[in-house]
Amino acid sequence: MATVTATRAATRKAAKVSERASRRSIGRGWMIATYVGLVFFLLWTLVPFLWMLLASLKTNKEIYDDFTLIPKHLYFGHYADLLRGQGGSKASGYFRQWLVNSMFVSVVVTALSVLLGALAAYSITRLRFTGRAALARGLIFTYLIPNSLLFIPLFTIVARFQLVDTLQSLILVYPTFTLPFCTWMMASYFRSIPIELEESARVDGATRLGALFRIVMPIAAPAVAVVAIFAFTQSWNEFLYALVFTNSLASRTVTVGLTQMLGEDVFFWGQMMAGALIAAVPSVILYMVAQRFVVRGLAAGGVKL
């Protein structure tokens, strides 16, 4: 623990030194350029989101008949319709079901990925056996196989198990992208935990698994939390597999469900934007929680994933 605190203090000090260095070095002209860039990039990033938010609060008349940028009155009808299970198109009646489906799949997949990933990561970092280096490398390879190469053969597997149009098919398939990542991230964190802590516990009679769950996992709790957040968001945001493996309105996840709201000739933009924003909420909340780990985590691990 003491060493961890010491290194943290050292990095903070290093950060301050570099802060001083760059503050001294950048000229006034460049500082103005920085702020111009900041405003530009904020607009570039946020205009689509703002438009989505504003549109979701307009009445249909404001959207289609008279063009307005900002709604005159805030209209929450689109949100209310969706959450009450009503709406302009047939598909939007299923919106609540889609949220429940997404939540169910994401929670189950996250729990599985964290548990199985932790076991594998412990094994790879702490136990000595033939083949573990190859396993660690294999994880990177599996992480890099793009889903567009896999969805067709996976569809035949899902069909063979008679799981087409079920949420189980997604629970079966989503670990293919969460597990390599979770295992890899936890392995790199476990490596930073001093092995002596575990050894003293084992001298006191703890088993290997006891050491993992009582010593390693509690120390790694922040990393486990971040890994869980990543697994959840990845599952929640997933699109292609959910599109291919489900086909009835009742079994869609929310990302695919949104595309079903397009269907007819008339686009219910207000309602679709409201739906899109609701679908983004869980990811945004978790992202805010994990945000400070994102850059730091990438910096700590290099860009090693």
Partner 1 sequence: MARAEATYTPKATGILPVVPSRSIVRRLLGPDWRLGWLLVCPVFLILMALLVYPFLDAILLSFQNRFIGKVGTWVGFGNYADLFSNPNSHFAKAALNTVVITGSAIIGKFFIGTAMACVLNQHIRLKNLWRGLMFLPWAVPAVVTAYAWRFMFDTSGPINGLIAQFHLRDDYIYFFNDAQIALPSLVLVIIWSGTPFWTMNILAGMQAVPAELYEAAELDGAGTVQRFLYITMPSLKHVFFVTALLSTIWTSANLVQILVLTGGGPDYSTITLPLLAYLTAIPGARLGGGAAIAMTMLPAYLVLVYYLTRQMLKQE
Q: How far is the CB of 37 from partner 1 (least distance, A)?
A: 4
HSE-up of residue 151 (Cα within 13 Å, Cβ side): 13
Nearer of residues 41 and 76 to partner 1, judged by Cβ: 41
Q: Where are the alpha helices (DSSP H) in 65-216?
A: 77-84, 95-126, 132-144, 147-160, 167-173, 175-190, 195-203, 208-211
Nearer to partner 1 by Cβ, of 131 and 218: the residue is 131
Minimum Å gap between C-beta 80 and partner 1 is: 20
Give the residue with the Cβ less far from partner 1, 49 or 76. 49
Query: In sequence order, which residues have a C-beta less than 8 Å from that of residue 75 and are 6 or more positions away?
Result: 57, 58, 59, 62, 270
C-alpha gyration radius of the chain: 24
Which has the closest alpha carbon to 257: 87, 53, 95? Answer: 95
Q: Min. distance of Cβ 56 from partner 1 in angstroms?
A: 10
CB of 244 to partner 1, least distance (A): 5
Residue closer to partner 1 by CB (options 57, 63) is: 63
SS3 202: helix
Minimum CB distance to partner 1 smaller for 77 or for 143? 143
* Least separation in angstroms between CB 104 and partner 1: 17
Exposed, middle or buried: residue 224 (CB in 10 Å: 0-12, 13-18, 19+)? buried
Reading the block at residue 63, the tokens are 């959207």
Whole-angstrom distance between the N-terminal and C-terminal Cα of the chain?
25
Residue closest to 226 by CA, chosen among 294, 298, 301, 300: 294
In this complex, which beta carbon is closest to partner 1, that of residue 2 or of residue 127? Answer: 127
Q: Based on CB atoms, which residue is closest to partner 1, 62 or 81?
A: 62
CB of 231 to partner 1, least distance (A): 13
Residues 113, 231 contacting (CB under 8 angstroms): yes
**Two tokens at 61?**
């008349």
Shortest separation between residue 120's beta carbon and partner 1, angstroms: 4
Query: Encoding tokens for residue 170?
Result: 């997604």
Q: Which pair of structure tokens corresponds to residue 235?
A: 């599952």
Q: How far is the CB of 276 from partner 1 (least distance, A)?
A: 4
| Owner of token pair 């398939």 | 173
The residue among 81 and 253 lying less far from partner 1, judged by its C-beta, is: 253
